[in-house]
Amino acid sequence: MMHSLILEGIGVQNWTYILVGVTFAIYIGIAIWSRASSTKDFYVAGGGVSPLANGMATAADWMSAASFISMAGIISFAGYDGAVYLMGWTGGYVLLALLLAPYLRKFGKFTVPDFIGDRYYSKVARFVAVLCALLVSFTYVAGQMRGVGIVFSRFLEVDINTGVIIGMLIVLFYAVLGGMKGITYTQVAQYCVLIFAFMLPAIFISIQMTGNPIPQLGFGDTLSDGSGTYLLDKLDGLSAELGFSEYTEGSKTMIDVFAITLALMVGTAGLPHVIVRFFTVKRVKDARKSAGIALLLIVILYTTAPAVAAFARTNLIETVSNKPYAEVPEWFKKWEETKLISFTDKNGDGHIQYVKGDAYLKDENGKFDFQSPNNSTKNELYVDRDIMVLANPEIARLPNWVIALVAAGGLAAALSTAAGLLLVISSSVSHDLIKKIIKPSISEHGELLAARLSAVGAVCVAGYFGINPPGFVAAVVALAFGLAAASFFPAIILGIFYKRMNKEGAIAGMVIGITAMLLYMIKYKLGWFDETVPDKSEWWFGISPEGFGTVAMVLNFIVSIVIMKFTPAPPEDVQEIVENIRIPSGAGEATH
């Protein structure tokens, strides 16, 4: 099927086997070298990670298969609206660095529920936090395992399920053996692989399209065809011509853009697998610094992605629009086989009409049915957004090893995020549930064993969802941010900045915030309350389910403060904890 891939020399597939094999061997080698020998190693990598290593690990942890493979594609179809992801998934780090990371590091425990449980002197609060952490992490991790499977199947001709299982085994090996310590140092390696794999094709394409080697600048430069036209003007013109909205204008309403961006920012700052990374450094000042390094390393990819999006969009339109189907380039045919791109000649003129609208009808599962053209639109082309990154090296005619590198990069992105999430799940179970709630008398040795076993359990559950993805997983992953925004963020912020905040307020806020988010999501995203998913016009204040995290967060803040006013102040010793975390010096090592 992929005969066209083996072009010359070693061939793409062999290159992919070589590069993926080498990177996997590195990850396993690191895991053996950095295996965990105590719960402290397992939960917070011994607490002595340098700010640079932690910054790199955080960046890899953060950038998932979605950031690597799908984001540029989403932006290239959404134009300006794509900014919600760009600003949303980076702006949260400012909140993390200024409002959370230094204080949580000073607090010096292992997990987010640890902070909630101690600060709100309550097992109920801890338990609610554990449930929120598990809900957020499981929805997120299922998508990552699926991502691993998809990368394998697209590049190595294995079945998606086989890909998921290979991914499970690799993550299992280094997460179970190394815990946070193993994960941290494999993530450092994974960052290097993924950033190299993303930047190299981007630089080449920028040179080809604009003559500028820096994609961020090429994005605003003139085209190299000698016309003197700016790339973005050209793209606006092409989009308008074909009936799409202007690329630099977008189509979402301002309030929705605002709400989604804020929900993603706050959600980022509230995601347990990101927060926990700041428990691994030595001092409070290291926590601040590593947040800065992490964001710098993330922004390298995030400022390149919109440039790639604009290049790829222009390239795509110019290559296919009104061109004879018989003359399409090699990559078009290749990705047609995997249904990432599909053409149906509705008017029988042998040319590709690519305009606004769905080319095909959807089946009952909401997926496009490539046997039934949608005759109510003139559009004849279906393009999967993932193709924008996956096919980029081929569109730019880069050598085979670069194409293979993109596969290794996609796997690095998916595996690093999956491992970080699995660790949160396993520590929630072994530390927060077993050690702190069910059996406080458990020995250090017993807790470490429990941590490893829960990691195994978590990998199996994640793998199960990766192989049998429930229809709602894709929808829910984007909403994990809303859930984190609606639950953790207010509880942690109030816990640090509002000494009078008590357990009654925090628990009520978290429960009401996350419930509101879940209900809105079920009604307006999944449509389980009605026959179908309700129309946009019924959204509250015109805010989409993705943006509702902002509303749920505000609700959480209001409920927490109102309930607190009517209930007793927290005890003296808790107020002392708050005084203490506000002072950076004397951050001891993380303890039980």
Partner 1 sequence: MAKTKHASAYWKENIKYVLILLLIWFLVSFGAGVLFKDALNTIKIGGFKLGFWFAQQGAMYVFVILIFVYVRIMNRLDKKYGYDA
Q: Which residues bind partner 1 (CB under 8 A)?
A: 75, 80, 82-83, 86-87, 90-91, 93-94, 97-99, 102, 216, 219-222, 230-233, 248, 254, 257-258, 261-262, 285, 288-289, 291-292, 295-296, 299, 302-303, 306, 579, 582-586
Residues 199 and 353: their CA atoms lie apart, in Å, by 32
The Cα-based distances of 425 to 84, 112, 133, 447, 478 in angstroms read: 28, 11, 7, 14, 19
The string over 178-210, giving b where at least 16 C-beta atoms fall within 10 Å of a residue's C-beta and e elsewhere, is: bbbbbbbbbbbbbbbbbbebbbbbbbbbbbbbb
Give the SS3 label for residue 369: strand
Nearest approach, Cβ of residue 87 and partner 1 (Å): 5
Q: Of 93 and 343, which CB lies nearer to partner 1 in the complex structure?
A: 93
Q: Cα(first)–Cα(last) distance of the chain, in Å? A: 55
Residues 487 and 349: their CA atoms lie apart, in Å, by 55
Residues 149 and 520: their CA atoms lie apart, in Å, by 31
Give the SS3 label for residue 140: helix
Q: Of 247 and 335, which CB lies nearer to partner 1 in the complex structure?
A: 247
Q: Taking a C-beta distance cutoff of 8 angstroms, is the pair 454, 425 a contact?
A: yes
Nearest approach, Cβ of residue 231 and partner 1 (Å): 6
Nearest approach, Cβ of residue 256 and partner 1 (Å): 10
Nearest approach, Cβ of residue 383 and partner 1 (Å): 21
Q: Of 1 and 254, which CB lies nearer to partner 1 in the complex structure?
A: 254
Q: Of 262 and 340, which CB lies nearer to partner 1 in the complex structure?
A: 262
Nearest approach, Cβ of residue 375 and partner 1 (Å): 35
Residues 86 and 67: their CA atoms lie apart, in Å, by 10
Alpha carbon 123 to its chain's center: 30
Q: Of 235 and 403, which CB lies nearer to partner 1 in the complex structure?
A: 235
Nearest approach, Cβ of residue 413 and partner 1 (Å): 19
Residues 205 and 324: their CA atoms lie apart, in Å, by 24
Alpha carbon 290 to its chain's center: 19
Give the SS3 label for residue 471: coil
Residues 444 and 434: their CA atoms lie apart, in Å, by 12
Q: Of 366 and 588, which CB lies nearer to partner 1 in the complex structure?
A: 588
Which ranges constitute the DSSP H helices of 396-497? 400-427, 444-467, 473-497
Query: How many CB atoms lie under 10 A from the CB of residue 223?
Result: 18
Nearest approach, Cβ of residue 130 and partner 1 (Å): 29
E strand map for 29-90 = none
Nearest approach, Cβ of residue 290 and partner 1 (Å): 10
Nearest approach, Cβ of residue 184 and partner 1 (Å): 20
Supply 138's token pair: 């499981």
Residues 173 and 171: their CA atoms lie apart, in Å, by 5
Q: Taking a C-beta distance cutoff of 8 angstroms, is the pair 494, 501 a contact?
A: yes
Give the SS3 label for residue 382: strand
Amino acid at position 344, single letter: T
Residue 174 CB contacts under 8 Å (≥ 6 apart), including other chains:
27, 28, 30, 31, 182, 183, 186, 419
Supply 401's token pair: 């090893």
Phi, psi (deg, nearest 5) at residue 512: -70, -40
Nearest approach, Cβ of residue 499 and partner 1 (Å): 10
Nearest approach, Cβ of residue 83 and partner 1 (Å): 4
Widest CA span of the chain, in angstroms? Answer: 80
Q: Of 65 and 257, which CB lies nearer to partner 1 in the complex structure?
A: 257
Q: Of 306 and 545, which CB lies nearer to partner 1 in the complex structure?
A: 306
Q: How many residues does the chain have?
A: 592
Nearest approach, Cβ of residue 554 and partner 1 (Å): 15
Q: Of 19 and 305, which CB lies nearer to partner 1 in the complex structure?
A: 305
Nearest approach, Cβ of residue 227 and partner 1 (Å): 13
Supply 134's token pair: 């598990």
Q: Of 97 and 168, which CB lies nearer to partner 1 in the complex structure?
A: 97
Q: Of 90 and 111, which CB lies nearer to partner 1 in the complex structure?
A: 90
Q: Taking a C-beta distance cutoff of 8 angstroms, is the pair 194, 389 a contact?
A: no
Give the SS3 label for residue 333: helix
Q: Of 23 and 212, which CB lies nearer to partner 1 in the complex structure?
A: 212
Alpha carbons within 13 angstroms on the beta-carbon side of residue 265 total 20
Q: Of 22 and 98, which CB lies nearer to partner 1 in the complex structure?
A: 98
Q: Of 230 and 464, which CB lies nearer to partner 1 in the complex structure?
A: 230
**Angle of helix 503-521 versus helix 473-497 axis, rounded to 10:** 160
Nearest approach, Cβ of residue 207 and partner 1 (Å): 16
Q: Of 212 and 560, which CB lies nearer to partner 1 in the complex structure?
A: 212
What is the helix, strand, coil percentage profile of the chain, to 5?
70, 5, 25
Q: Classify the C-alpha dihedral 156-158-164-165 as positive or negative.
A: negative
Nearest approach, Cβ of residue 74 and partner 1 (Å): 13
